[in-house]
Amino acid sequence: MINITNLTAGYGNRPVLSGLNLHIAAGEITTVIGPNGSGKSTLIKCLARQLPRAGGEITVCGRSIDTYTPKEYAKRVSYLKQARDIPMISVESLVLHGRFPYMGFPRKYTDEDRARAKNAMYRVGILELRHKELSELSGGECQKVYLAMVLAQDADLLLLDEPTTYLDVSHQLEFLRLLKELKGEGKTIVPILHDINGALQISDYLCVMNGGKVAFFGTPSELTASKIIDKVFGVEPASVTVGKNLFLTFPI
């Protein structure tokens, strides 16, 4: 699905990623984790074409990302950025924006657009908020509205930069379950998560970033066996297995 070769990128004269190589398989959840400033968001921004590359190549579905038109790319890849504006529009209007890549000229939403927007709102549990203005909602509710917009976009690849920010623990779990559901529908999902245990539960693969490079890439069980968390985060977790689920506990 995604092939990254020798990627170099950064902000101004400050390189954040240098010579990064990565392959992300289709239909899997590949979670990016790492300490602050390790280049997670920079990587996702490059994949989302939000940040120009200083070098290297990225292909999605065998095509260089530079060869897609903006609408073609938006149909293929959706991106939820970390910090978002809260415009003063209704929830439904914002979710409908997710259908922009499918709009022709003149600009008019079709019945299918409205149905898909409604379905997206239903899936993230905000259908009852559809009449409300975004400015009336809590941070967590706004987060869900943006998630619904991304779902309405109906792209094959979802790039989610810290999607569980502002969500309380029950909504975080609900969201992680939703990601697994989406994976079941064939979507490829690349979230950035700070919740390592959440990442262990839902991910097929984990990509641990450190200092602008991929410090580790593998399955959750390979990660816990690798001790890379100790090295990258500077803490020594203990592994705990509850039923089929593997958790890490961190000392205070």
- Note the residues at the interface with other proteins (CB under 8 A): 48-50, 70-75, 77-79, 81, 84-90, 92-94, 97-98, 100-101, 103, 106-107, 111, 114-115, 117-119, 122, 130-131, 133, 135, 153
Say whether 44 sits in a helix, a strand or coil. helix
Q: Which residues contact 36 (CB under 8 A, 6 or more apart)?
A: none
Q: Which is nearer to other proteins, 14 or 131 (CB)?
A: 131
Q: How far apart are CA 250 and CA 143, in angstroms?
A: 28
Least Cβ distance, residue 10 to other proteins (angstroms): 17
CB of 247 to other proteins, least distance (A): 33
Cβ proximity to other proteins: between 44 and 214 the closer is 44
Q: How far is the CB of 144 from other proteins (least distance, A)?
A: 16
**Strand 77-80 vs strand 157-161: parallel, antiparallel, or unpaired?**
parallel
With respect to other proteins, which residue has the nearer C-beta, 29 or 145?
A: 145
- Report which residue type is found at 102: Y
Amino acid code (one letter) for 114 = R
CB of 32 to other proteins, least distance (A): 17
Q: Report the relative pairing of strands 30-33 and 205-210 from DSSP bridges.
A: parallel
